[in-house]
Chain A
């Protein structure tokens, strides 16, 4: 029998799909506002607000409110800590998937027919 799988403990804050999406989008741009994140993620306003608040509390993103014309614009930026957490999470998950794939293909774990 092969060795048991190592204990998997991804960053729970990043592991949540909605927050992961926010981090990925913010990693692709310099900065973006609330409406842009709303359009890109397809979340509801309430959902997006609560997830960004959690990410801000963890200092993974920073939030700045500015006035443009007569409206308020809330701008979000990924912090270095957020970029690091995202990179670490992706590396971690890719490694886990590779491990699982290699185990599934190893002689001690032959693929089963469905």
Chain B
């Protein structure tokens, strides 16, 4: 009986035009709008490390140690990435010409006065270029200092430095950490919470105090718990499918890397769907007005999504500074936070904490709903 109710609930829900529109089509439309708005900004995100074209002009009379360092950094590292693509020039003018032609981003000019970094504009690339110089100068200062005070220890110092000659290492900050991605995370959170009205709609057809169909179901020998459980499962499955479609659309059709491994993303979407469904069950178990069964879940979804940064990206940070508890009780904020953390920092404790809180919310909503629905064992009509 469980399977039959489940199958029929899938059929019933998936044929509702409003459900298909809001839960399947609307997120895709919104994702497309976001993509048109700032898709390029995400694709060209500074945090997506790319090989930097740099020039080097040696105005010394001899070969320099710094040039050797740059050549080392132009080789592919163990992780298969190359930090620099080195172009050497015999004169500053040649380097400037290539820089102005966008062949190189900037160049190093090494002379007796030291190493000068010349760039077109300030950006994260110029920061990396400066960092390379700063690190190099630090090392040479250390060696010079040792040479003056303890000349016998210079070889050992050189060995130590050469065994740790990573001037700049790429930390695994995930695949994409653009600030604009949070809009897509908030979109996924909103899609998940839209499932709240799947469950209010599902409950409406199951409870005698909500609809005539509900009366018919409650007059039957089918257990109310079993019927609602089958409906919850059907609603959750539909929502997970909806979320996966949105993820695939964003990641593979719009070409925006969400930065979270697909498996983890599916798990997070499933938890998000569970959150929406269980929140809807809770609302449905408390609300008796037919109109409110639609407006309350909609209001809940939009408010939660707004505070998770769907319309204004800075809102979540603002709340984090002024009233952090809201971010910890807002299911949409928790979901976007979990996605952001997983994307940026990997599976940290905070990621697991967010996931745990969301699971706790699902269980909490279902327990409270069960209590409400049990109290209505005899319904009030």
A and B part of one assembly:
no
Binding site for A on B (CB under 8 A): none
